[in-house]
Each structure stands twice: as structure tokens, then as C-alpha cells.
Amino acid sequence: MPSKTTKKPGAKQNSPSGFESRLADVARDVEALLQTLLGRDLEHGETARPARLLQAMQYAALAGGKRLRPFLVVESARLFGVKPQQAMMAAAAVECVHCYSLVHDDLPAMDNDALRRGRPTTHKAFDDATAILAGDALLTVAFDFLARKETHADPAVRIALVTELARAAGLGGMVGGQLLDLAAEGRFGKVPEGVIGEETVIMLESMKTGALIRAACAMGAILGNASEDARQSLDFYGYALGQAFQIADDLLDLEGDPKKLGKKTKKDAAAGKATFIAVLGVEGARERLAILIATAEAALKDFGKKAETLRETARFVAERQA
């Protein structure tokens, strides 16, 4: 029961339905915006919009899901008085990058997954070439979205968002983490036993999954013209949350219900993935998760009550069943 260890007795809580309906609201809004951005807006232009490619992009990006990263952009921005609607373009951009990464990670040349969110993965529903290109196009369009006036009136803010997202998604972030993940599996040569320890796992997980979660929080701070102190607090929150998210994911892979998750479980151990569970054991991972959630909550102390939704987000990440 991970919930026991992650609820701080003294913490104030909205009713669960309050938090969950807030999460669902943002998910619905970002889905609607992506539908517009990847639909009406992209269907027409000076040049052809190959229907097959657009359909694959829509298939990959409009598959529902919790939309955690957009929620983090919106809730982080809200700390600084930015209205959810004003954070929505940046939120949609982060989600496009997340969705592209799933499409490429699922490819036969990478993790070779056939199922995601209960549906065939994009390359299964289309084909490998279309999936590669749909991923490329989703990544590209994310920067197009960030550059639009609707994202923020000030070009300097938009440029800061571009920098944040590009750094989080690239060599030193998500893509680099995916490579380290494959390397740890022994894909580029046998990994000597005992070489992959806690430090390696923290590094690769914080890049592969953590970087984009952390960037989502940072982008909220950028949209809100946050002070340096506030940025750092939020960054610390995002860092802890990103690791917590990954541990929860690893635990779900081991213990979760494949029906609820909409994908195969117990894949990590089979693939010899370098996970927190592999280095800490199940109980050790659960304890680490609790510490990280407490760390994430503590990082928000200067924001007071305003940050309650972000605190609940941390608890939600630890307790989620799917």
C-alpha cells in the first residue's frame, strides 16, 4: 500500500474528486486544443498535408491519457497568476514531445512494443516508416506551437520556452536517457555485472523521464515570469517528481494490472532494464518513492496553500494504478 507512506498526516488535502476533476479538466482542454492544432490548423496550408501522416500524428497524440505534463505546466504557471488558458499552448507543445517520444520508443528498433494505452502502438496501427515520420513531425510541430503568439505575447518568453523544451528533450535529456536505457540493457555491448548501480539508474531515469516532467514545471515558471528563487523551488519539485514518477512506473510494471494500464507488464525485468527496482529491490524502491514525494512536497513550502494542487499531484503520481 504505497499510499500509507506517501500521505503526510499534516498535509491539507482537497477532496480526491476535487483534484481528480481538475486533472480531468486540463486533460480534456489539452485534448481539445491538440485536436484543433493537429486538425483544423494543420489540415490546410500552402502545401499538401499528407493525410496518412496527419492521421498517424493524431493517433499518437490524441490517445487520451492523464496528460500529466500539460497539467504540470498549467499548475506551475498558476502559482504565478497565469490562467490555465494562457498556459495551454505550452502545455500542448510539451505533450507533443512526450507523444513523439512514445512513438519512437515503441519502434521495433527500440523497445519493440505492440500495445500502448490499450491500443496498437503507432507503428503497429500504421507502419514503421510512418511512425518514424509522425514522431519527427510531432517533435517539430511542438516548436512551431511554442513560437506562436498565442503561447505568450513576449517573444523573449517564447524563446525561453523553446530553450527549455529543446534542452529537456535532447541529448542531455530525454533522448540521451533513452540511449542510456538501451545501453544498460546491453544493446550496444555486454554490460559487466555490477556496473549499473543506483547512480546510473538515477542518471538515466532522471534524463529519460524526469527531464520532460521537470521542464513542464520550468515552463510554467517561465510563463509566469517567476523569480529565481521560485524557479529553483519548482525545479527541485520537478526533479523529485520526475524520479518519483519513474519509480511508480517501475512498480506498476512489476505489480500493476495490464488491463488498467493498457499495456504489457513485467517487461522491465525481462528486458534486463536498469530500473530502481533492479538496484533497490521492491521495498527499497517503495521507500525511495515515499522520500521523493515528501521531498517534492517540501520543495513547495514557500508557495504555501497556492501549491496544494501540485502537492496532490505528487501524491497522485505515487498512488496511481494506471
Contact residues toward a second copy (CB under 8 A) are 42, 45-50, 52-54, 57, 104, 107, 109-110, 127-130, 132-133, 135-137, 139-141, 143-144, 146-148, 154-156, 158-160, 162-163, 165-167, 169-173, 175-176, 178-180, 182-183, 187-188, 203-204, 206-207, 211
How far apart are the C-alpha atoms of 281 and 251, rounded to whole Å?
10
Cβ 227 to a second copy shortest distance, Å:
20
Alpha helices in the chain (DSSP H): 2-6, 16-37, 40-43, 51-61, 68-78, 84-105, 122-125, 128-147, 155-169, 174-184, 198-205, 211-223, 228-255, 258-261, 267-271, 276-299, 308-319
Nearer to a second copy, 21 or 140 (CB): 140
Nearer to a second copy, 100 or 276 (CB): 100
How far apart are the C-alpha atoms of 170 and 26, rounded to whole Å?
26
DSSP state of 44: -
Nearer to a second copy, 97 or 261 (CB): 97
- What is the CA 107 to chain-centroid distance, rounded? 19
DSSP state of 153: S
How far apart are the C-alpha atoms of 286 and 251, rounded to whole Å?
8
Give bridge partners of residue 119 from the DSSP assignment: 116
Cβ 107 to a second copy shortest distance, Å:
7
Nearer to a second copy, 158 or 311 (CB): 158
How far apart are the C-alpha atoms of 296 and 235, rounded to whole Å?
10
Cβ 166 to a second copy shortest distance, Å:
4
Cβ 109 to a second copy shortest distance, Å:
4
Cβ 13 to a second copy shortest distance, Å:
34
Nearer to a second copy, 52 or 259 (CB): 52
Cβ 131 to a second copy shortest distance, Å:
8
Nearer to a second copy, 127 or 302 (CB): 127
